[in-house]
Amino acid sequence: MQNNWQFPHRRWNPLRRSWVLVSPHRTQRPWQGEVGQKTFPSATVYDPECYLCPGNKRAGGAENPTYSSVFSFVNDYAALLPDAPALDVAASSPLLQAEPARGICKVLCFHPDHSLTLARMTREEIRPVVDAWTAEYQELGAHDWIQYVQIFENRGAMMGASNPHPHGQIWSTSFIPDEPAAETAAQYDHLARTGRCLLCDYLETERAGNPGNGERIIFENAHFTTLVPWWAVWPFEVLLLSRRHAGAFPDFSSDERDALADALHRLTTRFDNLFETSFPYTMGFHQSPTDGKDYPEWHFHAHFYPPLLRSATVRKFMVGFEMLGMPQRDITPESAADRLRACSETHFWPRS
């Protein structure tokens, strides 16, 4: 890595079309901020008080089946509803705009075992989760009013997860949300300008090692690459990319779904091993909208946004300049990738 990268500089995010400030010298400053608690994997296989465990009654009153693999249901406290009445908004100013927002929000339990996370599940156990994500994308996207299906997971209390049971969420919306809309515009413009896919070009650049000799790549398998992106904002942010140009879950073959399960298992295990804790993050898949249009520019990928900065107990906060000016990070993406590469893929806390 070039030595001058250790001094303050900005990096361009072509997917979001925005800048991030990199300030590597700040890693030397003393820390007197909030210190959290180290979190270890749970030993509780079944929790009678958990509203996601098999056979238990949920907060909304419904009873879960005694499921043995994945299980999905409509969120009892959904942020969006299938029906929304018209709004009575005064049209006296273009600055006061509003419109109804409809959607279907679901919860997907990854496994009946309350103690597990993706990091502690096997590849074989994660594969049904990949299949369920695929089916939900297809089924929800088949509604003629659903324009986008956002699949995500909030892992850990630090990221606002209200329940430690292994699960994620799926919000399907009557509109394309801001982040995928911005990525759609960037990918479309790149394709129109160059005739090529933006993320295919980016992946080729990273794999060719220009610049940096591939030092941001963490690992690859036959079908997926994981790397700390050139423009990473969060300290150990990771971008997971399909190596073949594909727009969405249904485009993947059985072998590719196996490879995605493998990549998720290996990456989340490395995360946990980095600080020997149950590593918190927000993770989500970005893929083609479901509004019935063609999106040849779209390249399937997942973002992992973990908050931990220095240890299992010290996290990064987006405050001050980050909120009022632009995102900023301390450790370089190359340093973060190097530390994740050095992590074992055997989990520090084995399953009993």
**Residues labelled catalytic:** 167
β-pairing, 148-155 with 167-173? Answer: antiparallel
Residue 336 CA to residue 217 CA, distance in Å, equals: 10
Which 3 state secondary structure label does DSSP give 301? strand
**Assigned token pair, 347:** 């989990």
**Assigned token pair, 334:** 């190359």
Distances in whole angstroms, Cα of residue 190 to Cα of each of 195, 196, 242, 340: 7, 7, 18, 30
Expressed in angstroms, the distance from the first to the final Cα of the chain is 42
**Assigned token pair, 129:** 């989760």
Question: Which single residue is written with the structure tokens 């001094």?
Answer: 7
How does DSSP assign 200-251, residue by residue? HHHHHHHHHTTTTTTTTEEEE-SSEEEE--TT--STT-EEEEESS---SGGG
Phi-psi region at 5: left, alpha or beta (left = phi > 0; alpha = psi -120 to 50): alpha
Distances in whole angstroms, Cα of residue 47 to Cα of each of 43, 50, 52, 163: 10, 5, 9, 11
Furthest CA-CA distance within the chain: 65
